[in-house]
Amino acid sequence: QPAWSPQYDESWVDIFDETKTYYAASREQVEQMAEVGRTHAQPAGDDQLKLVWINTWNCWKEATTIEPTIVDDGPKYPGGNYGFDFLEIVREVYGAETYYTSP
């Protein structure tokens, strides 16, 4: 199953010789990344549902969060405030319904 994360930042880690930072450039770019995950998901299990792993809800340190931010007057992208964009993209690309039922 594919995984999806809107951005990534490991600049806070001091054990690497070179750190990587990949910020989302725009809402359109995040939508395209989410679409790639949806496109490559394969049906699995008895119900043949497609599973896409969405990275962390609130890992602010690594910038992989999809939790909403407060939009202020500053720049929205890259790496800045994105408001509800990431959550809205999840709903738009993957749908509003979930299929998990607790045992």
Give the pLDDT confidence of 22-67 residue by residue, as tens digits.
Answer: 888 899 999 999 999 999 988 888 888 888 888 777 777 788 888 8
Residue 84 one-letter amino acid: F
Please give the pLDDT value at position 28: 94
| Residue 80 to residue 23: CA distance in whole angstroms | 9
| Residue 17 to residue 68: CA distance in whole angstroms | 32
Q: Which two tokens stand for residue 78?
A: 């890259």
Q: What is the band of 14 on the pLDDT scale with cuts at 50, 70, 90? A: confident
3 has which bridge partners? 53
Please give the pLDDT value at position 100: 65
Q: What is the band of 101 on the pLDDT scale with cuts at 50, 70, 90? A: low
| Residue 12 to residue 6: CA distance in whole angstroms | 18
Question: What pTM was estimated for this model as a whole?
Answer: 0.78
Q: Nearest 5°: phi and psi at 40?
A: -95, 0
